[in-house]
Amino acid sequence: MNLQIDDKGAAVLLAVLEERLDAHNSGDLKNQMLKLFEEGKSNLVVDLQAVRFVDSSGLGALVSGFKNASSRNGNLKLAGLQLQVKSMFELTRLHRVFEIYTDANEALASFQQ
């Protein structure tokens, strides 16, 4: 999976640079997040700006990351959701679980407050 990772201090920014987040590559995202948690990181921003399609396993990977972050007193926030990707979060009521920001900078700023 094409993933760009930048430690921004207050949080780590993960930009998913794939058109699809599905059962083929969601395991990679999950593993990468686990690696960050094992390194002691607990605040993540996942930037989905490039992603135009998410399936149930993609949602599952993000939920897994969210639960891991929460259990470490951190948070996983989302940024840059395309319209139809956002609809997926609404359909599954996950928009009530995640903090969703328009773009990555806004999400990162929310960790600095």
Return residues touching other proteins (CB under 8 A).
Answer: 20, 22-24, 53, 55-57, 59-61, 63-64, 66-67, 84, 87-88, 91-94, 96-97
Sign of CA dihedral 57, 62, 65, 70: negative
Closer residue to other proteins (CB): 38 or 96: 96
Cα first-last separation, the chain: 32
Give residue 3's Cα distance to chain centre: 11
Distance CA 24, CA 31 (A): 13
Shortest distance, position 17 Cβ to other proteins, whole Å: 15
Shortest distance, position 81 Cβ to other proteins, whole Å: 13
Closer residue to other proteins (CB): 6 or 28: 28
Closer residue to other proteins (CB): 22 or 99: 22
Distance CA 94, CA 89 (A): 5
